[in-house]
Amino acid sequence: MKNDKLVEEINRLKKEKRAVILAHNYQPEEIQDLADFVGDSLELSRKAAEVEADLIVFCGVHFMAETAKILAPGKKVLLPDLRARCPMADMVRGADLRWMKEQHPGKKVVAYVNTTAEVKAETDVCCTSANAVKVVSSLPDAEIIFVPDRNLAHYVSQKTGKNLHIWDGYCPIHEEIRPKHIQRMKQRHPEAEVWAHPECRPDVLPLVDRILSTGQMIKEAPKSQAREIIVATEVGILHRLRKENPEKKFYPAREKAICKNMKRINLKKVYRALLLEKPEVVVEASLAERAREAINQMVRFV
């Protein structure tokens, strides 16, 4: 089927099956345009919990669909391609975190929401890139275990002054955005502001004007006085920024900042997922219950 026919069939199946389509800000353009809701991972998981639907097609990566299932246990959650995984989330396992807790007995654990359900279940409180500083600041402890992103942890440690025991994980996409990319784009667009995601490297963040999560970028773009903005994150967000702010210009800090896992989802896979109601993402009940507590602790800070 051609794309227009696929969209027609997807919309028909959505009505027939009381389904909603959620898409992350890094998804391909045609998926963002098709979705009922577009947002960051936490926004979409919360939407999954509150929306009136029987079926959720989550267009993102696996940990996001898992989080949606944890917050919406009564709904069927589909991930159109199970190979769409987050490399950073897969860098730490439940066994790794249990080992780390043994090395630092009694220390609280803060886990970035970009983790598997198994890791969340071993965690005291989760955080997003937007509220990580608030979450860590709220804990009375001077020493905290933080997994899995070393770059976000470095940023949070600087902002809070706390001693974080850091797992050596990272986002390969943000890791490849280097100071030379920022400097090159500044030379090309001297009037532009530079915005960066806190998953970027510690040597990149001092070069930028603002450090923002994807959700914060979306909210701040219409308010900003800047007419040109260089964005240091995955390039998928540019579609939404340009679509919602046509009077402004947005440039990628690095054009090759593309997450291949996020781009695994396409119209054909969404159609097939709706038609067959699979692949389904399932989280074992006792694991989900433990993970849900850590996520609910996080939501208080949003």
**What are 178's strand-pairing partners?**
none
Residue 126 buriedness (CB in 10 A; 0-12 / 13-18 / 19+): buried
164 vs 162: CA distance, rounded Å:
6
Query: Is 25 inside a domain boundary?
Result: yes
Instruction: Quick: pLDDT tens for 191-213.
Output: 999 999 999 999 999 999 999 99
Whether 103 and 49 map to the same domain: the answer is no
The model scores a pTM over 0.85: yes
Query: Do residues 267 and 3 lie in contact, with contact meaning Cβ atoms separated by under 8 Å?
Result: yes
> To 10 degrees, the CA torsion angle through 43, 48, 50, 54?
160
Whether 19 and 162 map to the same domain: the answer is no
30 vs 228: CA distance, rounded Å:
25
Whether 182 and 166 map to the same domain: the answer is no
CATH number, domain of 182, equals 3.40.50.10800
Name every residue whose Cβ is closer than 8 Å to that of residue 186 and which is 6 or more positions away in sequence.
Answer: 192, 194, 207, 230
Q: Would you state the structure tokens that stand for residue 295, as one six-digit string?
A: 């996520």
Whether 144 and 185 map to the same domain: the answer is no
Whether 17 and 159 map to the same domain: the answer is no
Name every residue whose Cβ is closer than 8 Å to that of residue 191 and which is 6 or more positions away in sequence.
Answer: 227, 228
123 vs 78: CA distance, rounded Å:
25
Whether 271 and 125 map to the same domain: the answer is no
Note the pLDDT of residue 234.
Answer: 98
Q: Which residue type occupies 111?
A: A
Note the pLDDT of residue 43.
Answer: 87
Mean pLDDT by 10 residues, the chain (302 residues): 94 97 97 96 86 96 95 96 98 98 97 97 95 95 97 98 98 98 98 98 98 96 98 98 98 98 98 98 96 90 70
Whether 100 and 47 map to the same domain: the answer is no
- Residue 220 domain boundaries: 177-252
Query: Is 257 inside a domain boundary?
Result: no
Whether 231 and 294 map to the same domain: the answer is no
Whether 44 and 97 map to the same domain: the answer is no
Query: Is 103 inside a domain boundary?
Result: yes
56 vs 41: CA distance, rounded Å:
14
Whether 147 and 294 map to the same domain: the answer is yes
Whether 236 and 278 map to the same domain: the answer is no
Whether 37 and 101 map to the same domain: the answer is no
Note the pLDDT of residue 302.
Answer: 65
Query: Is 160 inside a domain boundary?
Result: yes
How many structural domains comprise the chain? 3
